[in-house]
Amino acid sequence: MWLNQLWFVLYVVIIGGYVILDGFDLGVGMLSPFVARSDHDRRVLLNSIGPVWDGNEVWLVLGGGALFAAFPFVYASLFSGFYLAHMAVLLVLILRAVAIEFRSKRESARWRTTWDWFFTISSTGIAFLLGVALGNVLRGVPIDDQGNLNVDFLSLLSPYALLLGVAAVLMLALHGGIFLTMKVSDELLGRVEQLVPRLMVAFFVVMTAVIAWTLFLPEDFAQNFRDRPWTAVFPAAAFVAVLVAWRSIRASEHGRAFLASASMIGLLMASVAAALYPVMLPASNDAANSLTIYNAASTQETLTVMLVVAVIGMPFVLLYTAGVYYFFRGRVQLDEDSY
């Protein structure tokens, strides 16, 4: 059953890749009202992510495809039980894309301001909804013995899930701010550098509350954390990464700060995966109904074919991604083709 374990790891890597890459896009959108003072500033922020934002979202599509093919029962339960939540995520994803593309189509200040707010609100909404979704997964959801998930939208908004949503917003806002230190300059850079340490403090406080609350949850997730002391390595390393990012920002070593921020996100994702394993979707009503990497997986033949396709295709995805970031490296310089 090593293929089940491998695809679990690959799925976590793909989702982690999405959160790291599209996460700083969302962070830039959330920070726009707080650091931009003029139309020029807002255009600089848009163009800092302009060449990469749509490519970053490919990782979300890839994650959905991998879940559908490798763990179809988890996919079916999530997309049927969280139907309204998924529609909300799709709505804000569409609004964000439209805001980015429409914003500079007209010179009108009212037109641009309207789309700027859509950009900020939709970016915040995506981060918040993804955090709420993770909070519900960690707490567990009611699943019957047929794998059916029966929840209503309001029941998803528990205090714990809402706290995870706030933590996600702060984490990605911080990640976006650190990304901007590599892309903007002059007074705009100074405002971003002043804001980033404050975001670090806020994220640290909220994340500490999340970890404390998680450890006292009655569900199996918290028990797994207590039974597997080695999983503490991941959050401890994530804390070290935050400290490295802090020192790097103070030393104006922006590239190292961004790598530390990306590492922090990856390590936090690894913490969740390690504590959940082998469960992918915990059942809150009966642990026997939980969907795991074994009872929710495709056949071994399907997983084998998928692995062959991944081995062939993933290098192209990574090469394309690396190429885009290489060619569009450096600080933003506006021209006639810019947003």
In SS3 terms, 152-168 reads as CHHHHCCHHHHHHHHHH
Residue 116 lies in a domain: yes
Longest alpha-carbon distance in the chain = 60
332: alpha, beta or left? (left if phi > 0; alpha if psi -120 to 50)? beta
CA gyration radius for the chain?
20
Range of the domain at 60: 2-327
Taken in order 137, 140, 142, 143, is the CA torsion positive or negative?
A: positive
Question: Is residue 321 predicted with pLDDT exceeding 90?
Answer: no
CATH at residue 248? 1.20.1630.10
Please check whether residue 336 lies inside any domain of the structure.
no
For the stretch 215-235, pLDDT in tens is 777 666 667 767 777 888 898
For residue 338, is it within any domain?
no
Domain-located, residue 339: no
Q: Is the pLDDT of residue 283 over 90?
A: no
- What pLDDT, in 10s, does the model give residues 50-87? 889 988 988 998 999 999 999 999 999 888 888 888 88
Residue 127 domain-assigned (yes or no): yes
pLDDT in tens, 287-309: 788 899 999 999 999 999 999 99
Domain count for the chain, please give it. Answer: 1
Per-residue pLDDT at 81 = 80
Asked, for residue 59, whether it belongs to a domain, the answer is yes
- 8 Å CB contact between 12 and 302: no
Confidence tier at 16 by pLDDT (50, 70, 90): very high
- pLDDT recorded at residue 219: 60
The answer to whether residue 199 sits within a structural domain is yes
pTM of the complete model: 0.93
Q: Read off the pLDDT of each residue in 145-168 and give the average, rounded to a whole number.
A: 86
Task: Name the residue among 210, 205, 180, 211 with its Cα closest to residue 194.
Answer: 180
Residue 335 lies in a domain: no
